[in-house]
Amino acid sequence: MTAAAVTTGARAARSDEATGGYLFTHFRNADNGRAGLRLAISADGWHYRPVRDGAPMLVPTVGENKLMRDPSVVRDPRTGLFHLVWTTSWTGTTIGYASSPDLVRWSPQQALPVMARFPGTRNAWAPEVTWDAAAGRFLIVWASTIGAAGKEGDHRLYATTTRDFDRFTPTTLFWDPGYSVIDATFATFRGRTLMFVKDERKEPLRKVVQWCDAALSPPRFGPLSAPITPAWSEGPTVVTIGPEIVVFFDRYREHRYGAVASADGGRSWRDVSDRIAMPAGASHGTIIPIPRVTYDALAALG
């Protein structure tokens, strides 16, 4: 698989259209995601400032609890349209969807019943939307627990695909490592497709982010790496800055973000948390490169 085979919300910024700056979609855990989508922008990929002084850009109206947590966005390479998915509820079978030409004007929101055909589904968490260029379609991956599994849940990754966000393939099990996992995200780096994921186990304590080499269609996964974050980390999002791949992650118990970087394709990582600046209160979001015209328009909003 070549570096062009997968274009994701976290892919490397190599094309002219992706050199304008960076976008960070997120929510605030303090309001449980009820206030909605917040945006921040960065010229260098390291330092992010809120758009509209941090005011919500999109207020949730769909789903079991009408939340907007874990917002994941990707830019359609065919049309330039931005596609957004999110967690609508702590419990239920839906995820949210909306699209925008400019990240300011949004389509009507939809609740996609992605787990409706799986009896006993408890939740559908942290959907991640990815453009799979090799297959010519979008891949959406999320975590669900089916059946009784205690307070912590026992999550596996499920997926659907779509070319137009109107018709979707039947939901399938995407990855089952034999234990609870959530928060999958994808990136390309030096010709490889990488998946980053959180080991959700609490006993023994894990709650860490790891990565593996992967393919999307059909799904294939290599062995997982050692943890690249401390315990109690989640919501990884990945971007290439200069010669390095950088993983931002939510240190949710400490109410702050951390980051690690690798210049050798993941063989070694170093903590670069002291280099980043993120909006106060930001939780679990996605960083993507955006065109200059989009960056300038968002910057003009204050």
Percent of the chain topping pLDDT 90: 88
Q: Which of the four pLDDT bands, split at 50, 70 and 90, describes residue 191?
A: confident
Residue 71 has pLDDT above 60, yes or no: yes
Across the range 196-222, mean pLDDT stands at 96
Which domain CATH number covers 126?
2.115.10.20
Q: For residue 218, what are the contacts with CB-CB under 8 A and spacing of at least 6?
A: none
Q: In a 3-state reduction of DSSP, which class is residue 5?
A: helix
Place of tokens 């390479």: 77
Cα separations (Å) of 78 from 31, 74, 163, 249? 35, 12, 11, 29
What tokens were used for 302? 């204050």
pLDDT tens per residue, range 231-278: 999 999 999 999 999 999 999 999 999 999 999 999 999 999 999 999
Residue 8 has pLDDT above 50, yes or no: no
Identity of the residue numbered 221: F
Least confident of 145-159, 195-209, 238-252: 145-159
Q: For residue 134, what are the contacts with CB-CB under 8 A and spacing of at least 6?
A: 1, 5, 6, 216, 217
Q: What's the pLDDT score for residue 10?
A: 36
What's this model's pTM, rounded to 2 decimal places? 0.93
Domain count, the chain: 1
Q: Which of the four pLDDT bands, split at 50, 70 and 90, describes residue 16?
A: very low
Q: Do the Cβ atoms of 106 and 99 come closer than 8 Å?
A: yes
Eight-class DSSP state of 31: G
Q: What's the pLDDT score for residue 19?
A: 65
Q: For residue 204, what are the contacts with CB-CB under 8 A and spacing of at least 6?
A: none
Q: Which of 83, 82, 56, 53 is nearest to 68 (CA)?
A: 56
Domain housing 238: 3-299
Q: What's the pLDDT score for residue 1?
A: 24
Q: 278: alpha, beta or left, given left = phi > 0 and alpha = psi -120 to 50?
A: beta
Please state, rounded to an integer, the average pLDDT across all residues of the chain. 93
